[in-house]
Amino acid sequence: MTESLLPEELSTLIHKVFKPRATERSIAFLIDLPDAVVADSEPWAQRRRMVAQWVAGLHKLESFPLEVHCVLYRNAHSNNGDLPEKAWYVSPDLEVDALAPNAESLANHPAVSFEQIFRSHPLLVAPTEFSATAPLKIAARTFPFRAATMPGFSPSMIPALRLDYEEINRRVLLLKSLLDEAVSATCRFLVDQSTERLLRLDLRHRTAHASGGVFPDPGVAGNLPSGESYIVPYEGERKADPSQSEGLLPVELDGDIVTYRISHNRAVEVIDAEQSEQGRREAKRIAEEPAYANIAELGLGVLDAFGVEPSGEILLDEKLGLHIAFGRSDHFGGIVGPKQFSGPDAVVHIDRVYIPRIQPRVKVLEVQLIRENMPPLRIMKDGAYTIDFS
């Protein structure tokens, strides 16, 4: 049976997540469209139909106090790539089957700029194919909106929207406080029950973030479902103060082990590149796209304790436990942004999630936080948290 979200449930969720103020009058749902570059898929089409139903249901719900708008735009071609210059409003009562099938079909439709959208709507929801988190985080620094981003959202994730986000937010705030105290983190991995790998991440000069699925204040954008604290490792931008992130990071990609050698917070080599096609591909990628090689995030998700299962989509899966990301970091407070990539379509922020159901060949033995003038703090052992959340 396919999960669905009733208009009344969606209304309750929006009030819990955003806590709308009396002066806030509207909410806009952002939907990205296929185009000549990126073809459609059935999960994507299903998501668009689902969101169109959400919009129509809220629009017709007499008890919902906000104006509801639907915004379509050409997809960004990659996760966390910059948004296109223009978008299109469509009627919130539009029949689901009448929704534009692709961006080209709206060529003659009156367009609006994203700046206009940001100025007009204090609340945004973005259930998109490609993550809009990075560009919306950047835009939220200038415009007084707040946004819930839902890249890759599918009906199977709806139960995660019904979780206790007050408790989730409390846990991620605790993790944030621990990351803020740390000057480095050490992660020990075991590959195929035989080979240990150690990665040290430099956390100096950085502040952690808490993403607990609650966005009551303007100027904020984050994921929904949510449940993580995260930090950008120091990237070495200070004069005469290189990043001390170094070590070996194993990742299981489509069943193959790819091991990156990290130096100064960048993947500089794949040490087992010749052992698999995935290894050769990644070695080529870090050589040709140095910005992708940046270690962009150390993330700590908490939703595994709430019984959430992997969905196959990063939006939810990264919230289940430890994850480490490559690529863009400026939306999290780092220095690597679109200008560091070879072109707009190359911009990416991609997470590698370390839980057994996603990377069964790579086990997290331990995660330890190193703090100044305090003893080291082990926060994870054998893939499970060791800290007391009570």
pLDDT at 97: 79
Q: Pairing mode, if any, of strands 26-33 and 67-74? A: parallel
The secondary structure of 221-273 as a DSSP string is EEESS--EEEEPPP-S-STT-----EEEEEEEETTEEEEEEEETTEEEEETTG
CA atoms within 13 A on the CB side of 312: 5
pLDDT at 1: 44
Q: Tell me, what DSSP letter sits at residue 37?
A: S
Q: Tell me, what DSSP letter sits at residue 294?
A: B
**Domain ranges across the chain:** 7-160, 164-385
Measure Cα distances from 381 to 247, 248, 312, 345, 387 in Å.
19, 18, 24, 38, 10
Q: What are phi and psi of 167, to 5 degrees?
A: -70, -40
Distance, in Å, from the CA atom of 88 to the CA atom of 111, rounded to the nearest integer, reads 5
Q: Pairing mode, if any, of strands 295-301 and 228-231? A: antiparallel
The secondary structure of 66-109 as a DSSP string is SEEEEEEEE--SSTTPPPPSEEEEE-TT--GGGS-SSGGGGTTS
pLDDT < 50 regions, the chain:
1
CA nearest neighbour of 197 among 233, 244, 250, 246: 250
pLDDT at 2: 60
- Which residue carries 């819930």 as its tokens? 148
Cβ neighbours of residue 150 closer than 8 Å, sequence gap 6 or more: 125, 126, 127, 128, 223, 224, 225, 315
Q: Tell me, what DSSP letter sits at residue 63?
A: T
